[in-house]
């Protein structure tokens, strides 16, 4: 196998990292250092760069907790990031080098999250084969509700009725530059009431991320007169419009606000995208399904792809030594 050199990310690698992300076939703006570092106080970064003949061939967004390395826990998805021309044999060698490096540095396990295939610019599942060879264990599987916008999708009658109701109520959709109204009036109260939880991102963090990635992060609010009744936050990549947050005023009568909003997003605003990702309807590390939420997404015509999470022993680097024949 090819000799690879692995090194831990340092601040001086900022430009080479971001340049590489921009040229890869399986990365999004979430892997840009400005996104990864907005919450650096919460995570101990342990991202890796892998070189072959002094040329950067892969990066791995990661953080550490004790003696365990994680595909970065502050990101929705992760993976070994690489360019289009990188061959499968190289990815196997790179993954072996990563496991060896971690093992040498006394890390016993790597918790590895994949990036769902809809975010790939071109097919990029080489790492799944490398995980299989290293006897990685599947420890979590989430289900994403996804629309393929290149095909015809059938919306259910109940969603169409909701859309018509919103029209009759004269609801209005506005794209906003600020997240505060949706956060304080809708999202935070709903999460607290339903789950005793808070949004992963604060208003201040969202406003900062929007200022850094203005073309990728969008906030859409729905109004009845001058009162906000629903909203959604969308992360846009080259291939996907992904719903990061979805919420409505639960105390308001059913106005069809979300049916109205998502009809617009799917058929107008993001109709040019390849995929529309409603996100997961899972809880308890993928072991439970919120049936009502899943049904609502499926009634727009969405169907399921999976997002997998693995655990691999770093000592298993030796299992990749005899793969190539």
pLDDT at 1 over 70: no
Residue 266: φ, ψ to 5°: -75, -45
pLDDT per position as a tens digit, 230-278: 999 999 999 999 999 999 997 777 899 999 999 999 999 999 999 999 9
Task: Please name the residues in contact with 49: beta carbons below 8 A apart, sequence gap of 6 or more.
Answer: 6, 7, 8, 9, 13, 16, 17, 56, 58, 59
Locus of tokens 């992360």: 235
Q: Give the per-residue pLDDT at 325.
A: 81
The distance of Cα 17 from the centroid of its chain, to the nearest Å, equals 19
Task: Please name the residues in contact with 211: beta carbons below 8 A apart, sequence gap of 6 or more.
Answer: none
The pLDDT of 273-285, averaged and rounded, is: 96
The pLDDT of 273-290, averaged and rounded, is: 96
pLDDT per position as a tens digit, 247-260: 999 777 789 999 99
The neighbouring-strand residues paired with 48 are: 8, 60
SS3 56: strand
pLDDT at 2 over 80: no
Task: Please name the residues in contact with 295: beta carbons below 8 A apart, sequence gap of 6 or more.
Answer: none
Q: The tokens of 67 are what? A: 């003696």
d(CA 109, CA 6): 17
Q: The tokens of 187 are what? A: 């999202």
Whether residue 72 contacts residue 31, with contact meaning beta carbons closer than 8 Å, is answered with no
DSSP classification of residue 185: I
Q: Give the per-residue pLDDT at 207.
A: 96
pTM for the structure as a whole = 0.95
Q: Nearest-CA neighbor of 79 among 108, 50, 39?
A: 50
Cα separations in angstroms, 135 against 111, 255, 286, 319: 13, 51, 21, 8
pLDDT at 195 over 90: no
CA atoms within a 13 Å half-sphere pointing along the CA-CB vector of 106: 3
The distance of Cα 115 from the centroid of its chain, to the nearest Å, equals 7
The neighbouring-strand residues paired with 82 are: 58
250 CB burial (10 A radius; 0-12, 13-18, 19+): exposed
Q: The tokens of 31 are what? A: 């892997």
d(CA 87, CA 90): 5
pLDDT per position as a tens digit, 124-166: 999 999 999 999 999 999 999 999 999 999 999 999 999 999 9
Task: Please name the residues in contact with 22: beta carbons below 8 A apart, sequence gap of 6 or more.
Answer: none
The pLDDT of 25-38, averaged and rounded, is: 97
The neighbouring-strand residues paired with 141 are: 308
- Angle at CA 97, nearest 5°, toward 30 and 309? 45
Q: What is the largest CA-CA distance in the chain?
A: 69
Q: What percent of the chain has pLDDT over 70?
A: 99
């Amino acid at each position: 196998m090819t000799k690879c050199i692995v090194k831990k990310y340092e601040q001086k690698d900022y430009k080479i990292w971001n340049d590489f992300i921009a040229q890869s076939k399986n990365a999004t703006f979430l892997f840009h250092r400005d996104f990864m570092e907005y919450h650096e106080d919460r995570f101990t970064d342990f991202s890796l760069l892998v070189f072959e003949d002094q040329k950067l061939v892969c990066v791995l967004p990661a953080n550490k907790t004790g003696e365990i390395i994680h595909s970065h826990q502050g990101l929705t998805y992760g993976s070994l990031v690489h360019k289009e021309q990188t061959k499968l044999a190289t990815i196997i060698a790179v993954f072996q080098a990563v496991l060896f490096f971690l093992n040498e540095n006394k890390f016993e396990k790597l918790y590895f999250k994949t990036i769902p295939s809809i975010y790939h610019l071109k097919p990029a599942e080489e790492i799944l084969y490398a995980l299989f060879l290293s006897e990685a264990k599947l420890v979590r599987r989430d289900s994403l509700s996804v629309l393929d916008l290149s095909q015809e999708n059938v919306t259910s009658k109940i969603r169409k009725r909701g859309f018509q109701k919103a029209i009759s109520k004269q609801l209005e959709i506005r794209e906003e530059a600020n997240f505060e109204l949706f956060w304080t009036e809708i999202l935070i109260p709903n999460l607290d009431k339903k789950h005793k939880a808070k949004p992963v991102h604060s208003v201040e963090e969202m406003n900062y991320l929007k200022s850094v990635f203005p073309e990728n992060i969008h906030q859409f609010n729905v109004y009845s007169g001058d009162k906000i009744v629903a909203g959604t936050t969308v992360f846009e990549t080259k291939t996907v419009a992904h719903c990061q947050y979805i919420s409505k005023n639960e105390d308001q009568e059913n106005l069809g606000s979300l049916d109205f909003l998502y009809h617009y997003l799917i058929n107008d605003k993001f109709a040019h995208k390849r995929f529309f990702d409603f996100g997961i309807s899972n809880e308890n590390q993928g072991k439970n399904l919120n049936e009502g939420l899943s049904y609502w997404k499926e009634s727009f015509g969405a169907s399921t792809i999976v997002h997998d999470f693995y655990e691999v022993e770093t000592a298993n680097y030796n299992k990749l030594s005899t793969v190539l024949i």
